[in-house]
Amino acid sequence: MSNLNYRVYPAQMETQSFGRLRVDCTTDVGFRPISNATVEIASTGNPGNVIETITTNEIGRTGEIELPAPPIEYSLEPVIEQPYSEYNIRVTAPGFAPVEVNAAQILPDVTSDQPVSMAPSEVSGSELFVVLPHTLYYEYPPKIAEDEIKSEFETGEIVLERVVVPEFVVVHDGPPSDPSATNHYVRYRDYIKNVASSEIYATWPEATIYANVLAIMSFTLNRVYTEWYRNQGYNFTITSSTAFDHKWMNGRNIYDNIGVIVDSIFNNYLSRPNVRQPILTQYCDGKNVQCPGWMTIL
């Protein structure tokens, strides 16, 4: 535990909560590890004060860095206090363009993995990612209700003959009708991990995380199976808009325990008896948004 006295007094050490951060650096093409990359970490509230500097090892990974975080109780019950702390991460490596991630979210008692993809400096300039507030802490547009089982009349021709777990999904980073929003090709498992890290807290009981991950996967596979957006003339699988789909945040950190759960059940989904397609499992937080008949996550 190093450099902790920058914001924690000795008398507070016994009661201060901590979360853990690990950074993984790879090339943007080929996903090869980048060793000896320099990682600088600063509190988002004081970005000019670097509190930790560490380098990646031969597999492109740093050790786990312990960072102050709010009490775990803040993320277990609805409270007005922000339940996570925020840190800025800057990564540099010889021959590669710098990458900065602002407002990475650190929860207490869990390890967070920050993936960083770096492009050669001769083909790219520096890149900045800003992690948006968590959906349980910030009020995003509520989900527009839809039928949980789609008919052929609604979707047009259903292209897939059976439910297939895709390797990639195309995420439209905005509402469906926004032509300026970027489309991102994202590995299916990584998409689920990102959404779960954005919509639930990794400090929750394991069974609760399992249930929510299963709901996220079922919703996503319904979009895949019914070709919901492509049948409307769009060229993507799903959006990052909470009014239509789930919140996906480009470049955000992923919690290790959520990642393990996703990897263990990634080819599962919820369905109805005698209905082949996955259920479009809609839910709300049950606090800021009321949704009778849906799942609630608080």
Residue 144, domain member (yes or no): no
Q: Are residues 103 and 160 in the same domain?
A: no
Q: Considering 97, 130, 163, which residue would you say is the last residue of a domain?
A: 130
Confidence of residue 147 (pLDDT cuts 50, 70, 90): confident
Q: Are residues 282 and 160 in the same domain?
A: yes
Supply the pLDDT for residue 284: 58
Which residue's structure tokens are 């996703």? 262
Judging by beta carbons within 10 Å of its beta carbon (0-12, 13-18, 19+), is residue 165 exposed, middle or buried?
Answer: middle
Confidence of residue 288 (pLDDT cuts 50, 70, 90): low
DSSP letters for 88-124: EEEEEETTEEEEEEEEEEE-TTSEEEEEEEE-BTTT-
Q: Are residues 282 and 198 in the same domain?
A: yes
Q: Are residues 179 and 256 in the same domain?
A: yes
Residue 74, domain member (yes or no): yes
Q: Are residues 122 and 180 in the same domain?
A: no
Residue 140, domain member (yes or no): no
Which residue's structure tokens are 């299916």? 188
- DSSP assigned state of 61: B
Task: Write out pLDDT tens, residues 157-197.
Answer: 555 667 899 999 999 999 999 999 999 999 999 999 999 99
* Residue 71 belongs to domain with CATH number: 2.60.40.1120
Q: Is the pLDDT of residue 249 over 80?
A: yes
Q: Are residues 37 and 172 in the same domain?
A: no
Q: Is the pLDDT of residue 155 over 90?
A: no
Q: Considering 98, 130, 162, which residue would you say is the last residue of a domain?
A: 130
Residue 136, domain member (yes or no): no
Overall number of domains in the chain: 2
Do 245 and 237 meet the contact criterion of CB atoms below 8 Å apart? no
Strands (E), the chain: 17-27, 38-43, 50-55, 65-69, 85-93, 96-106, 111-118, 127-130, 168-172, 183-187, 238-239, 254-255, 283-284, 295-296
Do 22 and 104 meet the contact criterion of CB atoms below 8 Å apart? no
For residue 54, what are the contacts with CB-CB under 8 A and spacing of at least 6? 23, 38, 39, 41, 62, 63, 65
Q: Considering 72, 98, 130, which residue would you say is the last residue of a domain?
A: 130
Which residue's structure tokens are 């919820």? 270
Q: Are residues 53 and 157 in the same domain?
A: no
Q: Are residues 63 and 176 in the same domain?
A: no
Distance, CA of 40 to CA of 62 (rounded, Å): 11
Residue 183, domain member (yes or no): yes
Owning domain of residue 73: 4-130
Residue 75, domain member (yes or no): yes
Residue 159, domain member (yes or no): yes
Q: Are residues 202 and 261 in the same domain?
A: yes
Residue 10, domain member (yes or no): yes
pTM for this one? Answer: 0.89
- Amino acid in position 292: P
Q: Are residues 226 and 260 in the same domain?
A: yes
Q: Are residues 10 and 114 in the same domain?
A: yes
Query: How far apart, in Å, are the Cα atoms of 31 and each of 27, 190, 208, 277?
Result: 5, 14, 32, 33
Q: Are residues 158 and 291 in the same domain?
A: yes
Distance, CA of 204 to CA of 58 (rounded, Å): 33
